[in-house]
Amino acid sequence: MGKKLTIGMFGFGVVGQGLHDIIKTKNLNLEIKKFVIKNADKKRNLPAELFTTDANTILDDPEINTVVELIDDADAAFELTVRALRSGKNVVSANKKMIALHLEELTEIQHETGTSLLYEGAVCGSIPIIRNLEEYYDNELLHSVSGIFNGSSNYILSKIFNENQSYGDALKKAQDLGFAETDPTLDVGGYDAKYKLAIVASHAYGIYINPDKILNLGIDKLDHVDIRYAREKNYKIKLIPLAKEINSKEVVLYVLPKFLTKESILYNVENENNGVLVKAAFADEQFFFGKGAGGHPTGSAVLSDITALRYDYRYEYKKHLDAQQVEYTTDYELKVYLRYEDENTLENIVFNSISERFYGEDAKYVIGHINLQEIIDKRDLINRPGYFIAEIV
């Protein structure tokens, strides 16, 4: 059964409770000794003596050898994770923002201390993509990794295209069901997908990228005009993060809405589900599908990491050790649809070529090829009310 793990857990929200539900059904040679929570007055379905608001109760306890971090504050999560690792405790986290922002430093701390930080639950819920990139694809040449990484935005788009709901109605339903926050920017703006993409890129290509350098434009400016265009062309719109090797030395990363045809395997990934498509030189195309959100799906990924620690599992970051390490680039041409409002817009955005223009009473848009760096440079112009940009296959 491996060595016994004595666990201290930070957070007891949706994922924490989902994880506990799973653990109590198993005999896994582990014990959760303490939970650190923010609100001591909140009623919970476990004995009160298991809970505390004092982080030191876990961090200073020599009997606790494993820390599970499941809070939503990236800065606090980073501080707790660093303290735990430096005190010799292994850590399992599901905080994608914290990991994406600090992965290089956290990797160095693991190497210095001999500890292990695992975070399968931070990327695509129940889909085991990080472990597969680390183990199955460790010596593989990856052409690209893309997919649907955010269940909230995908749920909204599914309601729009499958049930003819408006963006506003679909968003409200997602919020009512708990799929989207009161402020949904993290999801619909593509930030959540961007953090996950940065983590995926590290394990796929051996590069550390500050997420702030990755373009993310979301579905929050989606309008009935864009939906009508998609239906006329038999497209669906999905929010797609992409990591793609464009030559043997460079990788491009970005998050954009994308018009997908029925031929795309991602076309039928609906509701809160996620899908990850890996294209490789030798393994060809492989597709991973599963629940991208929720207490039990994400909790199952967290538990997988916990149980792996019983056998001293660590990420080896093998791609980072490769002498043929690639570099990040934004010099990449895309074919896009751009709906715009101001008639002077096209004088301020440089397209390499334009293949189609539409000028109507309720909308103006162009189809053309544009450099990724140009989109980044003109992001403030493009990402405002009356504008929407999406990649076309």
Q: Determine contact, residues 148/292, Cβ cutoff 8 Å.
A: yes
Number of helical H runs and strand E runs in the chain:
14, 17
Q: Determine contact, residues 378/336, Cβ cutoff 8 Å.
A: no
**Shared-domain flag, residues 205 and 305:** no
**Shared-domain flag, residues 114 and 251:** no
List, in sequence order, every residue forming a beta bridge with 34; answer none if it has no partner.
8
Tell me, what amino acid is at 64?
I
- HSE at residue 370, side-chain half, CA atoms within 13 A, is 25
**Shared-domain flag, residues 312 and 381:** no
Indicate the SS3 state at residue 331.
Answer: coil
The continuous run of DSSP H or E covering 187 comes out as helix 185-188
The continuous run of DSSP H or E covering 279 comes out as strand 273-280
**Shared-domain flag, residues 183 and 252:** yes
283: in domain = yes
The domain that holds 339 is classified in CATH as 3.30.360.10
pLDDT digits (tens, 9 = 90+) for 48-71: 899 999 999 999 999 999 999 999
List, in sequence order, every residue forming a beta bridge with 30; answer none if it has no partner.
5
279 is catalytic: no
Q: Which of 34, 97, 196, 258 is catalytic?
A: 196
pLDDT at 335: 98
pLDDT digits (tens, 9 = 90+) for 235-276: 999 999 999 999 888 999 999 999 999 999 999 999 999 999
Q: Determine contact, residues 122/95, Cβ cutoff 8 Å.
A: yes
pLDDT at 323: 56
**Shared-domain flag, residues 331 and 195:** yes
- Spans of the chain, pLDDT less than 50: none
pLDDT at 224: 94
What is the domain range of residue 384? Answer: 146-291+325-392
